[in-house]
Amino acid sequence: MDVKQPEPLPAENAAPVDQVAPEDSPSPSPSPTSRPTPPKSPTTTPSPDPDNTPRPTKIAITSPANNVFISGTRVILSGTKQAGSSVTVPSVTGGADLCALPASSGTNWSCPAMILPSGTIGLVALEVVDGVQTSQSNTLALRVLGSPAITGTGDLVNAGSLDGVGWDGATIRVLVSSPTEEGRSCGQLVGDGYWYCGLTLPSGTYTVQVEQSWPGSRTEWSPPSAARQLTIDRDVPAAPVITSPAAGDRITDQPREYSGTGETDADVDVYVDDLPICNAEVIDGRWSCRGTGVTDGGRVVKAIQRDAAENFSKPSKEVRVEFGSATPAPTSSPAPSASPSAPAAPSASTPSTPSKPSLPTAAPTTAPSGPLPSEPSSEPTAPAAAPPATPAPTGTSTTIPFFSAPPGGDSGLPPAMTWGTPTLYGAAIASPEQTMERGNWSTGALLALGWLLLIALPLRLMATSLRHRGANRAAKLTGRNRLSSERDVAEQRLPGFGAHPLVIAGGAVLGATVLAVLASGIQSEARYVRLTIAVAVGLTLLNLCVVLSTRLAGRLSRTVIDFRLVPLFLAVGAGTAVLSRVGGIQPPLIVGVVVGVSFGMGIAAKSRGIVQLAQIGAMTVLAVVAWVALGLLPAANGFWMSALNEVLSAVCLAGLGSALLLLLPVLSLPGRAILEWSPVLWLAASIVVATFAAVILTGEHFPVLLVAGGATVVTVLSVATWGWVRYVEPASAS
């Protein structure tokens, strides 16, 4: 393939002050009427005599033509002028002149190799005679596009991707010249000056270049960038091996060194009970690092390595160790008849014990406990050779304190009950930076469209087909002439049973909290108590946001509203919790809103729709703000930072999950009121909320196929129900 000579990207990559942007240009540009300021005439130079000087011929630019596309940033201007004049082309960025030609007797002029920034650039040529500007050419508009740039320097090693900077709205194309010659379209536009391209090439070393097209054009391409060598490595490295500590070791001092073997130039992350403890680079097949902060108790150590292409291995073989000093074995109490005697000195074979005194025992034992089963055992020494134990006073019952400070630990709690240990709640939420790196906003829009076509609209179709049947039966049972939507509201009221409304609301929020925590899984550890409290705080904030936003919208629209608890939301929350646990959906699907809005008789559809749209909008904004805050916060470490991350995760997950549920146009959900008022606003709100939910909640391990299968089942059942009511039943009745 004939590869063009690469053009360097100019220093002025931003839009120039004097550039002129067409209507379809994606980036803002100044008005085309902007002109470079011509130099002022020196006051000391006299003006030529108009009677003796012939009328000058106006300077003109003859090449290139107006609005022509320039591939690259080097431009040659040429044109005509009058004899004896000089030519100047001012800079479009306010710096030095792009071109300055001295006076000559010729009537043709040419400015070679001018460097222009990318964009639509406006140029003029100025003609000067004896230091006085005599004419100015018409403005020439050029569409200039330089080469895009690839991030980084030197050779690239990854699993098959390129990224870099380019011109907004351009399309990126990758050129592969070695070992095979081919061009590959990236399929993604440059947005905010950034582009990313995933390659479907097998593992190997390639020579690559990238070029970009003028926005909206399929034939106008920039020169290719400088050639770079890309090594694609899709091979998953083998699991590392931990050689120290060994299985059954007891670790009494920290920091502790962890070491082993792995793949040269890879990075190894060491975990203790799934929490990172240290990191090391593999040099000549070996690695070692030092870690601390592990509380006492039985722990599992494992390691994962990632190679230079960011391919992650499987975890290493687990190594089970004990942290903390061994508790001294209790000894037998002397018989009452025996006379007390001074304790004998420990034997030489007895290991030294910590200086910290041992806790008194509640009841004497007849034999001291031996060492750990995994350690080599020896015959127990005689009682006289054992370390002295503090005898309990006669008639006094002593017990071991429940919360004793473990040696070497800093939590003050029993092993595996650390309040400050982070949980994995919300860890699968994609951060704003990750969504940009993965480029999954287009995927999110497709998933939002799928939610609309496979769930929302089919459910509305089924509800419409069953509406009259449900309405007639309800009228016979109640004997009241009410709208179906009002009956739905009444049927969803939660009886108070004489309790205070705040008590009922608190119980409902607590129920939603339990479902939200169970959806991601819990363990019998103190950190999950903190997690439950944090989720409860997050759901309380979300429900307060719903109440305040709808109350404000009701006042502004002069709509009489009231609030109710909706058991249906808890039922849906229970269903999504079970689905998340069974299907392994991470982050889990959560419904955290338990309050709804009820309206008085005769409220117009527009007023109801405005209030309900404000409710969903406030929830979505709060969830997105929590998502952005999660991306800005550092990694969870300690009690307060972990709790804050969990509160924000709960607000983000429950806010988006609840907004999706409430937008369904069925029963008395807000989506139905919005659809009845304005189908266009309902459609726009559904696409926006579903897109954010898809982008934020569909992480790398989100079971898209499972959810898509469930959505397909909903579609089939809804369409089948509609078909039965519309065609089968009338045919059988006739």
CA distances from 64 to 69, 119, 242, 268, 601 (A): 9, 16, 68, 58, 72
Q: Is the pLDDT of residue 571 over 90?
A: no
Is 462 strand, coil or helix?
A: helix
Task: Give the position of tokens 């590869």.
Answer: 3
Provide the pLDDT for residue 217.
86
Residues 6+ apart with CB under 8 A from 300: 272, 273, 318, 319, 320
DSSP assignment letter at 277:
E
Locate 174 and state its tokens.
């990758």
227-241, 497-511, 583-597, 650-664: segment of lowest average pLDDT: 497-511
Provide the pLDDT for residue 40.
37
Q: Is the pLDDT of residue 371 over 80?
A: no
pLDDT band at 595 (very low <50, low <70, confident <90, very high): confident
Bridge partners of 228, per DSSP, are: 208
Find the helix packing angle between 639-662 and 567-583, rounded to 10°: 110
Task: Give the position of tokens 């009452």.
Answer: 336
Q: Is the pLDDT of residue 614 over 50?
A: yes
Find the helix packing angle between 639-662 and 526-556, rounded to 10°: 50
What is the chain's mean pLDDT, rounded? 74
DSSP assignment letter at 299:
E
CA–CA distance, 501 with 594 (Å, rounded to integer): 13
Name the nearest CA neighbour of 281 among 296, 303, 264, 295: 264
Is 497 strand, coil or helix?
A: coil
CA–CA distance, 54 with 552 (Å, rounded to integer): 77
Provide the pLDDT for residue 53.
45
Is 344 strand, coil or helix?
A: coil
pLDDT band at 434 (very low <50, low <70, confident <90, very high): confident
Q: Is the pLDDT of residue 126 over 80?
A: yes
What is 241-323's CATH topology?
Immunoglobulin-like (2.60.40)
Provide the pLDDT for residue 636.
62
Q: Is the pLDDT of residue 399 over 80?
A: no
CA–CA distance, 5 with 235 (Å, rounded to integer): 34
pLDDT band at 326 (very low <50, low <70, confident <90, very high): low
Q: What order of strands is seen across the sheet that includes strand 86-89? A: 99-101, 86-89, 126-129, 132-136
CA–CA distance, 403 with 415 (Å, rounded to integer): 10
Q: Is the pLDDT of residue 24 over 80?
A: no
Q: Is the pLDDT of residue 285 over 80?
A: yes
Question: Distance of alpha carbon 235 from its chain centroid, rounded?
Answer: 26
CA–CA distance, 443 with 253 (Å, rounded to integer): 50
Provide the pLDDT for residue 243.
93
Bridge partners of 290, per DSSP, are: 257
Find out whether 646 and 534 touch, Cβ atoms under 8 Å.
yes
What is 1-40+55-146's CATH topology?
Immunoglobulin-like (2.60.40)
Residue with the bigger pLDDT between 620 and 441: it is 620
Task: Give the position of tokens 């200039």.
Answer: 144
Q: Is the pLDDT of residue 415 over 60?
A: no
Q: Is the pLDDT of residue 412 over 50?
A: no
Q: What is the rounded average pLDDT of the residues 223-239?
A: 90
Q: Is the pLDDT of residue 19 over 80?
A: no
Q: 10 Å Cβ neighbour count for 259? A: 18
Residue with the bigger pLDDT between 415 and 205: it is 205
pLDDT digits (tens, 9 = 90+) for 688-703: 999 998 888 775 556 6
Provide the pLDDT for residue 726.
82
Provide the pLDDT for residue 485.
41
DSSP assignment letter at 408:
T
Checking phi first, is residue 356 left (phi over 0); if not, alpha (psi -120 to 50) or beta?
A: beta
Name the nearest CA neighbour of 159 among 237, 268, 239: 237
For the chain, the structural domain boundaries read: 1-40+55-146, 149-232, 241-323, 432-703
Domains 1-40+55-146 and 149-232 share a fold: yes
Provide the pLDDT for residue 49.
42
Residues 6+ apart with CB under 8 A from 302: 242, 270, 271, 315, 316, 317, 318, 319
Beta strand pairing call for 156-158 and 228-232: parallel
pLDDT band at 269 (very low <50, low <70, confident <90, very high): very high
Q: What is the rounded average pLDDT of the residues 417-445?
A: 72
Provide the pLDDT for residue 309.
82
CA–CA distance, 298 with 278 (Å, rounded to integer): 19
pLDDT digits (tens, 9 = 90+) for 62-93: 999 999 999 999 999 999 999 999 999 998 87
Q: Is the pLDDT of residue 190 over 90?
A: no
Q: What is the rounded average pLDDT of the residues 544-553?
A: 88
pLDDT band at 370 (very low <50, low <70, confident <90, very high): very low
CA distances from 413 to 106, 327, 404, 417 (A): 93, 16, 7, 6
Locate 330 and state its tokens.
């209790």
Q: Is the pLDDT of residue 212 over 80?
A: yes
Q: What is the rounded average pLDDT of the residues 277-292?
A: 92
pLDDT digits (tens, 9 = 90+) for 515-532: 777 777 666 677 778 888
Provide the pLDDT for residue 186.
76
30-34, 321-325, 667-671, 724-728: segment of lowest average pLDDT: 30-34
CA–CA distance, 611 with 308 (Å, rounded to integer): 53
100-114, 309-323, 416-430: segment of lowest average pLDDT: 416-430
Angle at 650 between CA 645 and CA 651, to 5 degrees: 100
Q: Is the pLDDT of residue 176 over 80?
A: yes
pLDDT band at 272 (very low <50, low <70, confident <90, very high): very high
Q: Highest mean pLDDT range out of 210-224, 491-505, 622-636?
A: 210-224
pLDDT digits (tens, 9 = 90+) for 191-200: 778 888 888 8
pLDDT digits (tens, 9 = 90+) for 237-255: 899 999 999 998 999 888 8
Q: What is the rounded average pLDDT of the residues 367-376?
A: 37
Q: Is the pLDDT of residue 474 over 80?
A: no
Residues 6+ apart with CB under 8 A from 9: 73, 146, 147, 148, 149, 225
Residue with the bigger pLDDT between 327 and 165: it is 165
Find out whether 568 and 492 touch, Cβ atoms under 8 Å.
yes
Q: What is the rounded average pLDDT of the residues 462-478?
A: 58
Q: Give the CATH number of domain 149-232; options: 2.60.40.10, 3.40.50.300, 3.40.50.1370, 3.40.50.150.
A: 2.60.40.10
Task: Give the position of tokens 């990318």.
Answer: 118
Q: Is the pLDDT of residue 327 over 70?
A: no
Find out whether 302 and 273 touch, Cβ atoms under 8 Å.
no
Residue with the bigger pLDDT between 456 and 10: it is 456
Locate 431 and state its tokens.
């951060």
Locate 724 and state its tokens.
């039965």
Bridge partners of 301, per DSSP, are: 272, 319
Provide the pLDDT for residue 15.
36
pLDDT digits (tens, 9 = 90+) for 618-675: 999 999 999 999 888 876 667 788 888 889 988 998 888 889 888 988 888 888 889 8
Beta strand pairing call for 171-178 and 182-189: antiparallel
This prediction has a pTM of: 0.43
Give the H or E element holding residue 229.
Answer: strand 228-232
Q: What is the rounded average pLDDT of the residues 437-450?
A: 79
Give the H or E element holding residue 251.
Answer: strand 250-251
Provide the pLDDT for residue 137.
93
Q: Is the pLDDT of residue 679 over 80?
A: yes
Locate 123 and state its tokens.
């140029």
Provide the pLDDT for residue 410.
37
Q: Highest mean pLDDT range out of 40-49, 329-338, 477-486, 502-511?
A: 502-511
Task: Give the position of tokens 């309800």.
Answer: 474
Provide the pLDDT for residue 305.
92
pLDDT band at 409 (very low <50, low <70, confident <90, very high): very low
CA–CA distance, 1 with 299 (Å, rounded to integer): 59
CA–CA distance, 439 with 420 (Å, rounded to integer): 34
